[in-house]
Amino acid sequence: MEKNLKSQIESLLLVAGKPVSLKEIANTIDGSVAEIQNELNSLIEEYKDRGFRIIKKDEKYLLASAQENAELVAKFLNEELRYDLSPAALETLAIVVYKQPITRAEIENIRGTDCSRVLRVLMIRGLIEEVGRKESPGRPILYGTTVKMLTYLGVENEDQLPKMEELATT
């Protein structure tokens, strides 16, 4: 049971992407707080010489890369910025430009494919940003373009972009 519990905790922390409270973990796994705390302490100790750590702050836990690898991780993430945008990224950017504010689900509905990685690349490059939350169930993130996107496209303002009607006739 111990290995299974550790595995469950690791999986939750991996997909959370944000700090998670001990209570949230215990409620999700349906385990006691004391039992989860013991397993977390054990995992923290096990990870001391690994490439990732469990960070604890204010009774919340987060899975993160090891601090000693920060330079390497930054270099890897910056590699995404060295290449031109892919056709998928350009398509997604165009959708955001003309349909903003727009949610990821709405973009995926238009494109017909998952676009979470493409959105991440566009956000890392500073071409799009979160502009709010949609007033609907789940309150999904709304995406919009940035000033940097205008310079990327070589225009001074959005009025200089072709209108949707003009694009449809060409």
Q: Degrees (nearest 5) of the Cα angle 105, 108, 112?
A: 145
Give tens-digit pLDDT for 12-35. 999 987 889 999 999 999 889 999
Q: Which domains does the chain have, with CATH numbers?
A: 2-69 (1.10.10.10), 87-169 (1.10.10.10)
Taking the CB of residue 35, how many other CB atoms lie within 10 A of it? 14
Q: Between β-strands 52-57 and 60-65, what pairing exists: parallel, antiparallel or unpaired?
A: antiparallel
Say whether pTM exceeds 0.95. no
Q: What is the pLDDT of residues 60-78, one digit of tens each?
A: 888 888 878 877 877 776 6
- Between CA 104 and CA 114 the distance in angstroms is 9
Mean residue pLDDT of the chain comes to 86
pLDDT of 86 higher than 90: no
Per DSSP, the residues of 94-138 read HHHHHH-SEEHHHHHHHHTS--HHHHHHHHHTTSEEEEEE-SSTT
